[in-house]
Each structure stands twice: as structure tokens, then as C-alpha cells.
């Protein structure tokens, strides 16, 4: 029960990494509010309440956090996981796709942190975990907007960590490598095979393997950890 009595909000919780985080955290004793713009792929376990949340909407964020405070009186952990991906290179990227990527993957993280920090400052404690990517620290050809926003999430996390370090709020980022999720399953098979072949462990990661990293950062076990980048990538960035 590593998260006993903690109140958690997870975004992008309907599938993939967000779903795995939600289920694990609930089993570890947390009360979890699982938010997504889509319905969950399967029913959640006990201890989970589903919320509709468009992470690009200030109003949705305000309403979601207010509802959590009304029901539980506090918010201990925020997992900013919701995200999308696009593959266009710089010269092919249309403004519409660029702005959508920023809205979901970067502005969504900003809005979530802002709402959570406002609550956590009053509490004097809290943990925020932002899901970035190995592409926030390194690059491959193409996917210009995705690289841009995940790099931004990396540095936004560090800024918030430094800003609120003396107020009991910890902020860290998690950097997954290639993970087997609906997002990556929708990609071209040859692209997936290329990334997996370039991964020293020669396999895709599992959502639960990312969830366990988030669990550590959300728990009191990481009470002296802030501004850190937790890379979970099968050795990709070590090359």
C-alpha cells in the first residue's frame, strides 16, 4: 500500500500508460481519479472514479480539480500523461498539426501543473509526474512537433521543481522509450521495428513498467527527488 490515503489525478487514463498507472495506483491504496477525453477501454478496478477531461481546456481542468477537492478535500499526486503524436518533419508540418500538438502535449501539462500547484501550495505537499519521452532528450528524423513538445515538458518540469522545491511540491519527468500501447500500435510496423531494433534490450516496453516508475515518484519513497528525469527505455539513451 505504497500510496495509502493519497488522492491522485491521472490524465490520458483510458488506455496505455495512463490505464496501467491508474490500476497500479489504486491497488497500492490510492483514490484515483482517472481522466480522459475518451471512455476507458475496459472497466477500472475498485478505488477509481472516471472523469471526462479535455486537457487543452482551462474550464475542464478547473472543474475536474474542484470536483476532486469537493469529494476528497485534497490532491496529492498529478500524473500528466495525456498526449498525442505526429510524424511530419519540419518542412511538411502544417500549422494545424503544430498547434494541436502544443495544445495537448504541452499546454495540457501547463494547465494541469498550474491547477495542481494551486492546491498543493495550500496543502504544503504534493507530487507531480509529467510524462515526457526519450524524444524529449534525443532526436530522430521527422516528428518535429512531438520532439518540440516533449523537450518542453522536460524543462517545464525542471522549472516547476525549482520554483516550488521549498513548498513541499516535487515535480519530476518520466521518459519512456518505445512502449507497446494503442498509440504505438497505430504506427507503421516498419517504424516500430526500427526503434525496437535500435533498443539494446531488443523489445518494446510494457505500460506497467512505466507505471512502476511513476509509482516511485508519486510515493513518499522519493521524498528527496525533484527535478529528475527518470528514463525507462530499455537502454536506448545509454548508447
| Domain at 96, CATH number | 3.40.50.720
In angstroms, the CA 104 to CA 54 distance is 9
| pLDDT at residue number 182 | 83
| pLDDT at residue number 214 | 98
Q: Which of 19, 87, 146, 212 is catalytic?
A: 146
Between the alpha carbon of residue 238 and those of residues 49, 136, 176, 177, 199, the distances in Å are 38, 14, 13, 12, 10
The total of structural domains in the chain comes to: 1
Contact 125, 172 (CB under 8 A): no
In a domain? residue 1: no
Query: Which residues does residue 89 pair with via DSSP β-bridges, in sequence order?
Result: none
In angstroms, the CA 199 to CA 175 distance is 14
Residue ranges of the chain whose pLDDT lies below 50:
none
In a domain? residue 2: no
pTM of the model: 0.96
In angstroms, the CA 86 to CA 164 distance is 32
Does the annotation count 216 as an active-site position? no
| pLDDT at residue number 61 | 98
In a domain? residue 173: yes
| pLDDT at residue number 14 | 95
| pLDDT at residue number 9 | 98
Whole domain around residue 66: which residue ranges? 7-234
Amino acid at each position: 500500500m505504497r500510496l495509502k490515503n493519497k488522492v491522485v489525478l491521472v490524465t490520458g487514463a483510458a488506455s496505455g500508460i495512463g490505464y496501467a498507472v491508474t490500476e497500479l495506483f489504486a491497488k497500492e491504496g490510492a483514490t484515483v481519479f482517472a481522466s480522459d477525453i475518451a471512455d476507458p477501454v475496459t472497466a477500472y478496478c475498485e478505488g477509481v472514479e472516471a472523469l471526462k477531461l479535455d486537457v487543452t481546456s482551462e474550464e475542464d481542468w478547473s472543474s475536474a480539480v474542484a470536483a476532486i477537492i469537493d469529494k476528497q478535500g485534497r490532491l496529492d499526486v498529478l500524473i500528466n500523461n495525456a498526449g498525442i503524436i505526429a510524424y511530419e518533419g519540419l518542412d511538411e508540418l502544417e500549422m494545424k498539426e503544430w498547434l494541436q500538438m502544443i495544445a495537448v502535449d504541452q499546454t495540457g501539462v501547463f494547465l494541469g501543473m498550474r491547477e495542481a500547484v494551486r492546491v498543493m501550495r495550500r496543502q504544503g505537499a504534493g507530487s507531480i509526474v509529467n510524462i515526457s519521452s526519450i524524444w524529449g532528450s534525443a532526436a530522430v528524423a521527422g516528428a518535429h512537433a512531438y520532439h518540440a513538445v516533449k523537450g518542453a515538458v522536460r524543462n517545464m518540469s525542471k522549472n516547476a521543481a525549482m520554483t516550488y522545491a521549498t513548498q513541499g511540491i516535487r515535480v519530476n519527468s518520466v521518459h519512456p522509450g518505445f512502449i507497446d500501447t494503442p498509440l504505438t500500435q497505430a504506427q507503421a510496423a516498419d517504424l516500430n521495428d526500427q526503434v525496437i531494433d535500435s533498443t539494446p534490450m531488443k523489445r518494446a516496453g510494457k505500460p506497467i513498467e512505466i507505471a512502476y516508475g511513476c509509482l516511485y515518484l508519486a510515493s513518499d519513497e522519493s521524498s528527496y527527488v525533484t527535478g529528475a528525469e527518470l528514463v525507462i527505455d530499455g537502454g536506448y539513451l545509454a548508447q
